[in-house]
C-alpha cells in the first residue's frame, strides 16, 4: 500500500482543481440567471406579451396618406426606328452607266437622276421617229385638201390619219426609251446606297441603288397581349431615342394577329423628322397615350407581394387593420410610382409592410 510523501495525505493535481473551478462558475451563472429572470430573452417576453394581449400585441407601422388623382395612362414599348419607305431603284432598260449624279448618303428630291445610262443610238431613233411624224402630218394635210377638191376618197384620208397616229406613237415610244436612260428617285428621301458605278452594265431589273424615306420616320415595337387592347389608331405617342432626342407622332398601325413565337403585336408610330436627325435603326422607348383615370402616387418601397405572388400594397383601413390590394404600375417617377387598383384616399404602409399580414390590428406611428 503506497502513501503520499510528507504528512501522509493525498495531493490533488492542479488540472483537477482548474476543472472543478470552471464547473463551479457555470453552476453559479445558472443559479443567478434563474433568480433574476434572465432565462427568457427580451424577444420571447415580447412575443409572450403579444400572445397574451399585452401592450405589445399591436405592431407599429408607418403610413403615408395618398389621395386619388387623375393620371394619364400610357403603354410603354421598346423598339427601334425604321424608314417609312425603303425601295431598291432598278433600271427599266439595258445600258452602260455613264453618270452617277446623286451623292451616296445624300438627300435627293423626287425625280432627281440617280444613275444615267449611255444614250447610244436611242437619240437617233427618236430623231428618225420625229422626221417620220412630220412626213405623215404633211401627207395627211395634203389628203384633206385633195379630198375637198374631189381628188381623194374619204377612205384614203382615213388611212393617212391612221399613218399619222402610228408615227406619233412611234415618237412617244422613242421618247420613253430615251427617258429610261435616266433612273430617277421615286420619292424625296436619302439615296442611301449606290449599287452601280460608272461603267457598270445594267440589264432590265438590275439595281442602281437604295432609296429610303426618313421624313416621316417610323418607330416600331411590339406590345404584349395584355396591353394591345389599350392601343388605338391615331393615339399620340412620344419616343425617346437612344441618342436622347425626343420625337412625337401618332399610331398608324396596330397588328391584328399576334406573333406566334412571342405573342406580341406589332405597333407602328409615324413621326415628323424634317431635319433627318433621327436615323433608321435607333433604339427607342415609346409612350403611347391610352386615356386617363384614377391613380395613386406611392413610394417604390411600399410595393410587396402577397402569398399568391401578386404585386400590390398593404394599407391600414379605418378600423386600424391591415388590408392588401393588388395594383398595376403605370409609371415610375423620381417622386414615386404611379399605381392603379386603389380607390379614394388610402393610408399606404411605408414602414413595416413586410412584417404584417392582412387583417392584423396595427398601431399607426408618426412618420419620420
Its CATH class, for the domain covering 88-209, is: mainly beta
What would the pLDDT profile of 181-218 be if each residue is shown by its tens digit?
999 999 999 999 999 999 999 999 999 999 999 999 99
Considering only residues 207 and 149, tell me which one the structure prediction assigns the higher pLDDT: 207
Residues paired with 183 in a beta bridge: 115
Q: Are 284 and 241 in contact (CB under 8 A)?
A: yes
At residue 329, the pLDDT reads 86
12 pLDDT more than 70: no
What is the model's pTM? 0.62
What's the farthest any 2 CA atoms get from each other in the chain?
181
Domain ranges of the chain: 14-51, 57-71+294-365, 75-83+212-291, 88-209
At residue 62, the pLDDT reads 92
Of 235, 286, 226, the C-alpha closest to 258 is: 226
Most confident of 16-25, 124-133, 143-152: 124-133
Q: Are 338 and 296 in contact (CB under 8 A)?
A: yes
92 pLDDT more than 50: yes
Its CATH class, for the domain covering 57-71+294-365, is: mainly beta
Start-to-end CA distance of the chain, whole Å, equals: 82
Of 36-45, 135-144, 152-161, 260-269, the poorest mean pLDDT is in 36-45
CB-based contacts of 303, cutoff 8 Å, min separation 6: 311, 312, 313, 327, 329, 337, 339
Report the Cα 53 to chain-centroid distance in Å.
55
Considering only residues 232 and 52, tell me which one the structure prediction assigns the higher pLDDT: 232
What would the pLDDT profile of 273-306 be if each residue is shown by its tens digit?
999 999 999 999 999 988 888 999 999 999 999 8
Distance between CA atoms of residues 234 and 289, nearest Å: 10
Distance between CA atoms of residues 169 and 349, nearest Å: 86
Confidence of residue 104 (pLDDT cuts 50, 70, 90): very high
β 362-365/59-66 pair status? parallel
Confidence of residue 307 (pLDDT cuts 50, 70, 90): confident
CATH, domain range 75-83+212-291: 2.40.30.170
At residue 34, the pLDDT reads 65
Of 113, 110, 118, 111, the C-alpha closest to 93 is: 118
The burial of 24, by beta-carbon neighbours within 10 Å (0-12 exposed, 13-18 middle, 19 or more buried), is given as exposed
Residues paired with 297 in a beta bridge: 338
Amino acid at each position: 500500500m503506497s502513501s503520499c510523501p510528507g504528512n501522509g495525505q493525498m495531493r490533488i493535481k492542479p488540472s483537477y482543481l482548474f476543472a472543478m473551478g470552471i464547473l463551479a462558475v457555470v453552476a453559479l451563472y445558472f443559479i443567478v440567471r434563474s433568480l433574476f429572470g434572465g432565462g427568457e430573452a427580451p424577444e420571447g417576453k415580447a412575443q409572450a406579451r403579444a400572445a397574451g394581449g399585452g401592450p405589445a400585441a399591436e405592431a407599429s407601422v408607418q403610413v403615408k396618406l395618398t389621395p386619388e388623382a387623375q393620371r394619364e395612362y400610357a403603354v410603354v414599348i421598346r423598339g427601334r426606328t425604321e424608314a417609312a419607305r425603303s425601295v431598291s431603284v432598278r433600271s427599266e432598260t439595258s445600258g452602260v452607266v455613264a453618270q452617277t449624279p446623286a451623292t451616296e448618303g445624300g438627300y435627293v428630291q423626287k425625280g432627281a437622276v440617280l444613275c444615267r445610262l449611255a444614250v447610244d443610238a436611242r437619240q437617233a431613233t427618236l430623231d428618225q421617229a420625229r422626221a417620220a411624224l412630220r412626213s405623215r402630218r404633211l401627207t395627211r394635210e395634203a389628203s384633206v385638201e385633195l379630198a375637198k377638191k374631189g381628188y381623194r376618197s374619204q377612205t384614203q384620208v382615213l388611212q393617212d390619219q391612221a399613218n399619222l397616229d402610228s408615227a406619233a406613237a412611234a415618237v412617244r415610244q422613242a421618247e420613253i426609251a430615251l427617258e429610261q436612260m435616266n433612273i430617277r428617285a421615286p420619292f424625296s428621301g436619302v439615296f442611301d446606297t449606290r449599287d452601280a458605278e460608272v461603267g457598270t452594265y445594267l440589264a432590265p431589273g438590275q439595281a442602281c441603288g437604295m432609296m429610303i424615306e426618313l421624313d416621316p420616320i417610323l418607330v416600331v415595337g411590339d406590345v404584349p397581349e395584355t396591353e394591345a387592347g389599350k392601343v388605338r389608331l391615331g393615339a399620340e405617342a412620344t419616343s425617346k431615342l437612344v441618342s436622347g432626342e425626343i420625337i412625337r407622332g401618332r399610331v398608324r398601325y396596330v397588328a391584328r394577329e399576334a406573333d406566334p413565337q412571342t405573342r406580341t403585336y406589332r405597333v407602328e408610330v409615324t413621326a415628323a423628322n424634317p431635319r433627318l436627325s433621327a436615323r433608321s435603326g435607333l433604339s427607342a422607348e415609346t409612350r403611347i397615350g391610352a386615356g386617363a383615370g384614377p391613380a395613386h402616387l406611392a413610394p417604390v418601397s411600399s410595393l410587396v407581394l402577397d402569398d399568391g405572388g401578386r404585386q400590390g400594397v398593404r394599407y391600414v383601413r379605418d378600423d386600424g387593420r391591415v388590408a392588401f390590394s393588388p395594383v398595376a404600375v403605370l409609371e415610375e417617377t423620381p417622386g414615386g410610382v404611379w399605381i392603379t387598383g386603389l380607390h379614394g384616399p388610402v393610408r399606404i404602409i411605408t414602414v413595416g409592410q413586410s412584417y404584417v399580414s392582412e387583417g392584423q390590428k396595427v398601431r399607426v406611428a408618426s412618420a419620420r
